[in-house]
Amino acid sequence: MLLFLRSKDLVPAARERLTNLGVDFQLVSEEPIFEIRAHLSIYSPPVLATKLADLGRVETGKSRTPLLDAMPSGHEVVVEVRGRTEPIRFRNQPRQAVWIAGPCSLDESNNLEENAARLAKLGVQVLRGGAVKPRTSPHEFQGVGRAGYSQLARAAHAHGMACISETLSEDDVPEAAEFLDIIQVGARNMQNFALLRKLGRCAKPVMLKRGPGATLLEWASAAEYILNEGNRRIILCERGVRGLETELRYTLDLAGAAFMQHRYSLPMVIDPSHATGVKQILEACTAGALAMGFAGVMLETHPRPAEARSDALQALTPEEFSAIAGRHLHS
């Protein structure tokens, strides 16, 4: 992005304005022209241009995410749920964040009905549970299959909760759209563009998890694929990126999520369970996420973690989850 100052006398004022906006720049020419780092700044190109317009002409270049840039701030994703009077609202800086909880995978070790009853009573608004599971190895449990979608929906709706589950391929979408209230795109499929396009043509809210190797711009661009097909009901979910540390499963990028929340208007949910894999710090991460103003949090819970067929170590027992919810989920 280039700022062609109206006059040389404005150099000090421009320097001060750009610094105070927190925008990286260099004065590259004696014209004078300021060159502004334009990759993905904290402001969209049109917003930044407006903030600088009085100083001279601004050449913004093309935005990488024009559809996201055009969305109004305070965008809200409203989820209507069968059998629930009030819809569930996902938006950043919420009066009350949305809590999503449930087991990693739907399997015989879960009593979904009992689970749902307990979580609903604690104030959880969305029941999660994997039906088709993306597992690193083909020799690991692959989930109960799409039949799980309707079971999950039944359990959730019976208690006035919405339900969310993941799709792994375009073929999963029709059945998912029939039963689920929110369709999840998992981290491994963040750039499965065929799937994103299909979900963009579907009427359901989509929760797009960040890929563990994805930059913020790649993540925003994946959302842009869904928007480009017409679906504006997009929720982002930060679940950790690959980093240098190996004690935790991934590096939970709360600051990156805050950047996204400031730059774009899509609601952001934080998933500390998958990000860290360490149950002892889930409460701290949840408290942090709530204080940072994110739209929601997602936590894994299991009645008996030792029997879970996936991600047992990070699953909170009912008692552990109740304690956290009691301290942080004020319904």
- A 10 A CB-CB count for 63 gives 16
Q: Which stretch binds its own copies (CB under 8 A): 21-29, 45-53, 112-120, 175-183?
A: 21-29
Choose which of 73, 85, 137, 203 interacts with its own copies (CB under 8 A). 137
CB of residue 186 to its own copies, shortest distance in Å: 9
243 interacts with its own copies by CB under 8 A: yes
Tokens 């190109």 map to which residue? 45
Of the two residues 94 and 293, which places its CB atom closer to its own copies in the complex? 293
* Residues contacting residue 207 through CB under 8 Å, at least 6 positions apart: 164, 182, 183, 184, 185, 234, 235, 236, 237, 269
Euclidean distance between CA atoms 271 and 264, whole angstroms: 19
Interface of this chain with its own copies, residues 76 to 115, rule: CB under 8 A: none
Stretch that binds its own copies, among 45-53, 79-87, 157-165, 184-192 (CB under 8 A): 184-192
Nearest-approach distance from CB 118 to its own copies, in angstroms: 18
* Segment lying near its own copies (by CB under 8 A), choices 15-23, 45-53, 72-80, 108-116: 15-23
The residue count of the chain comes to 331
Give the position of tokens 């049109």. Answer: 46
The answer to whether 181 and 159 are in contact (CB under 8 A) is no
Provide DSSP, 135-160.
-SSTTS---S-THHHHHHHHHHHTTT
Distance CA 135, CA 148 (A): 17
Nearest CA among 129, 134, 187 for reference residue 161: 129
Given 46, 292, 303, 318, the residue binding its own copies (CB under 8 A): 292
Asked if residue 138 binds its own copies (CB under 8 A), the reply is yes
The residue among 73 and 136 lying less far from its own copies, judged by its C-beta, is 136
Q: Select from 6, 15, 121, 201 the one that contacts its own copies (CB under 8 A).
A: 15
Minimum distance of its own copies from residue 152's CB (angstroms) = 20
Spatial separation of the C-alpha atoms in residues 57 and 220, rounded to whole Å: 28
> Smallest gap, in angstroms, from Cβ of residue 150 to its own copies?
20
Distances (CA, A) of 308 to 129, 142, 159, 300, 322: 12, 13, 23, 11, 19
72 is a site residue for its own copies (CB under 8 A): no
Q: Does 323 bind its own copies (CB under 8 A)?
A: no
Among 221, 231, 273, 310, binds its own copies (CB under 8 A): 221
Question: Does 276 participate in binding its own copies (rule CB under 8 A)?
Answer: yes
Instruction: Restricting to residues 186-205, name those near its own copies by CB under 8 A.
Output: 188-189, 191-195
